[in-house]
Amino acid sequence: MNTVRSDLPSILQLHTNYREGTATVRGTVDEAWSSRDRHVSLNAWITSEEPANLAESQARIDAGEMRLLEGVPVAVKDIIDVAGMRTTNGSGQAFHSRARDDAAVVALLKSQGALILGKVATEEFAFGITSKNAHFGPTRNPLDPTLTPGGSSGGSAVAVAAGDVFVSVGTDTTGSVRIPAAFCGVVGFKPTFGSLSGVGVTRLAPSLDTVGIIARSVADTRTTLAALNVDVEPADPREAHVMWLKRLDGVAVEPAIDTELRKVAERLNATEVSLPEQGIYELLGDIVTTEALQVHKEEGWWPAAHDAYSPLLRHRLQAAESNDLQDYLQATLDRSRMRSLLGHLLGDSVLLLPTSGAFPIAIEDVDDPVALAAFRRGVMTYCGLASLTGFPAIALPVPGRDFVSLQLIAAPGRDRQLLAAAEWVESIIATF
């Protein structure tokens, strides 16, 4: 059962429909609720509510005062606060709270007319890449419900791919926006580290956590980022020389992904490059587990609420208690060297590589530690390069090739150049 929608309008087309009177905000929201109800088996939603600004949005459209996201249905990952809604963190009841204020990114979205329809599923405390949640049940892949949609922003990708919303806001620590985007056939954008505020967002690993966007196209991503005050003024994609990387840390790539990567690299006349072994997967493990444990201690959750955690997360936090501080410090030094190496390699160029080396695994296989470990390495290695360095990155689906996604990375602060290159690649992929 493939429930991914390919017949939906872009944000630009939706706004044209609003101006021409062929669509209304009420009708758009009703379509969103209908889509959510049709796809309830995918388990993408945790909380959904009628947006309070619906009437205001229609009034602005009628007055010709449309803002960037006027009347656009948006979902928010459930570690991000929305005033008046509960934040579950994908966790047990002991950790739930009702937000008094909007997270900074949510406040910006609302200020541009976005209709926040609710909160979508995440891995427990965003700590994982499968969206198999012990408290709320597994979120399922809209391309094949027997498979994981990826995570931890799994609900965000599913809600966009299924057509429930136009855009979803997630977080990306080790690839948690780009991984589910890749597995669900949508676009996932991680901006330069620190360019979007994390105020009102539950922390996982603060030196890596980045708010990101999942949408159906680069154009919709650009519009959303503009609403978030990110500089996305169009740039000439020819300004950026493209390099491509076919292997990273020796991690194998699925043949179908490799084929599409080579085709795009050839069309772009990209220069093939390589990087020495970086140990990305191990570095991510050292940094994330150490910082996550510290966060949970600072929040007063660990070990006080020991029994409220799922067995898996409880085990991870317990294991992190024995992490060696020297290993963490060494990992941060290695990360600094990696940042310098990649920055020197890139310069003004853009790097093309797989988003993931692996395809999604079956939900039932997530509980197999051997299968899960191999899957995590195959996925996180390719996303981890941009995560560890803090560089902006975007995942682009290849239409008609389920689970095949290509990634572009640029130097920090070159988000607008990255988006321009992504639109260029997106147009090339569409011709295949």
Catalytic residues: 77, 152, 176
Q: What is the C-alpha to C-alpha distance for residues 281 and 273, in angstroms, rounded to an integer?
A: 20
User: ∠ CA 295-98-321 to the nearest 5 degrees?
Assistant: 15
Q: 56-65 long-range CB contacts below 8 Å, 24 or more apart?
A: 57/25, 57/113, 57/115, 58/24, 58/25, 58/26, 60/113, 61/18, 61/19, 61/25, 64/19
From the list 338, 314, 19, 32, the residue with the least C-alpha distance to 162 is 32
Tokens 């510290």 belong to: 294
What count of other Cβ atoms lies within 10 Å of the Cβ of residue 246? 16
Which one-letter amino acid corresponds to residue 356? S
Whole-number Å distance between alpha carbons of 66 and 19: 9
State CA 235 to chain mean position distance.
Answer: 23
